[in-house]
Amino acid sequence: MNSTIGTAPLDEIPGCGPLLPEERGAPMSLRQQILQFVRANGHAARAEIARALNISAGSATTITADLIATGILREVGDTARDPGRGRPRVALEVVPEAAHVIGIKLSFKTHTAVLTDFAGNIVANAALQTQLARRPLSALLDEIDQLIANLLNAAGMERSAIHAVAIGLPGIVDHATGHIVWSSLLQDRDQDLGSVFAERFAIPLYLENDANMLTLAELWFGAGRAMRDFAVVTIENGVGMGFVLNNRLYRGTHGMGLELGHTKVHLDGALCRCGQRGCLEAYLADYALAREAGTALDLPIDTQTPPEEMLNTLFKRAKAGDTAAQTIFRRAGRYLSIGLSNVVQLFDPPVIILSGERMQYDYLYEEDVFKEMQTLTLSEGRKPCQIEIHAWDDLVWARGATALALSAVTDTMFSQEGIA
């Protein structure tokens, strides 16, 4: 079993966005293809654009001139030199000020927001401490309002300068409609965040499951930029999954697929926050481990100890040799093996990236976990799936949300033109 443990570099490669050609169901105009190629590479000369997109030099020159005139691209000196000419080439780059977007990650302890420009550069970030209890949609909207205000204040910008907002949150989300089918953050099911957000802010909103947001962070800024297919599994307050297929985020037919945390691993098993029993996250998520920790640490049922504090104490005891504490983590690791083997069996990805706050607990990525995953997988005769551990903080999740917003703003910019 091949595994890589550590943090993959962000921003080590210039630019942002997938480096491989995007495969889409609908054709994309050459103007948009050029814009996205330049943004992904940070900067590019016209000759590079022509070669990469298989177009004539004349077409590259004409279209880039138009994009410069509309304020989307600009010329910049290139450090590379034309062979035999001895002088730097003139390259193109995205005009950062052409648009600004906000990406937000909503969670139990802290909401996080990032403001980026059209080139994907971070302009400002902000965080807002929150309550742990579930809240009505109106209260969540107030928190979003305060977070955006804090972010704009940090950036010294007005709300009118923002072209789009994207929000990721735990739960089952209908991306197309902005409808929250269920979220552990909210008191009620079937909440229409998209409509109430539009009424309050008058800014386009793009809503997504938070695991998909982290997957977009990998695809736009991280290790996934040069991968056509990969999976991301997150372990935090819940268990999430995102999947990139043919260089695009896969959501399923109705936009609500890949709920790995709510796949069943034990009939009539432990109670999950979704109300059903036997879900994978009922054995792996924060609240599941905290539930077990209460017994191992001999804490009363009505304890006011925060789950994070309980889990940190449990981990310290496990490291100190406490058998009960070690058993809890290793049992969770076995359920993780089951979940990962199911991902491999169903999707056959070359790489699964494990991320989330709980990946600080090395019991969940011991070699035995991955060996058992391999044993449970019918993989004889094929290359084993590689496992990577990326312990990102919430800022990266929010930055993944900016990728969704940037993609949407870009599509809107070019949506009125004919395909050419």
pTM for the predicted model, two decimal places: 0.89
pLDDT at residue 259, rounded to an integer: 87
Q: Do domains 7-97 and 227-392 have the same CATH topology?
A: no
CATH T-level fold of 227-392: Nucleotidyltransferase; domain 5 (3.30.420)
Q: What is the pLDDT along the chain (420 residues), one digit of tens a residue?
A: 444 444 445 556 789 999 887 655 557 899 999 999 999 999 999 999 999 999 999 999 999 999 999 999 999 976 555 555 555 679 999 999 999 999 999 998 899 999 999 999 999 999 999 876 789 999 999 999 999 999 999 999 999 999 999 999 998 899 889 999 999 899 999 999 999 999 999 999 999 999 999 999 999 999 899 999 999 999 988 899 999 999 899 988 776 678 899 999 998 999 998 889 999 999 998 889 988 888 888 877 666 677 788 888 999 999 999 999 999 999 999 999 999 999 999 999 999 999 988 888 888 888 899 999 999 998 777 788 999 998 778 899 999 999 999 999 999 999 865 444
Q: Which helix (H) or strand (E) holds 325?
A: helix 323-347
Exposure class string for 319-342: b at 16+ Cβ within 10 A, else e: eeeeeebbebbeebbbbbbbbbbb
Q: Which pLDDT score, from 0 to 100, does residue 4 have?
A: 46
**Taking Cα atoms as reference points, which of 68, 77, 124, 65 lies closest to residue 95?**
68
The DSSP line for 54-107 is T--HHHHHHHHHHHHHTTSEEEEEEEEE-TTT-SEEEEEEE-GGG-EEEEEE--
pLDDT of residue 317: 92
Q: Does domain 99-215+396-414 have CATH number 3.30.420.40?
A: yes
- Position 3 scores a pLDDT of 47
* Residues ≥6 apart with Cβ < 8 Å to 303: 294, 310
Q: What are the residue ranges spanned by the domains of the chain?
A: 7-97, 99-215+396-414, 227-392
CATH number of this structure's domain 7-97, picked from the four choices 1.10.10.10, 3.40.1010.10, 1.20.120.1810, 1.20.1250.20 = 1.10.10.10
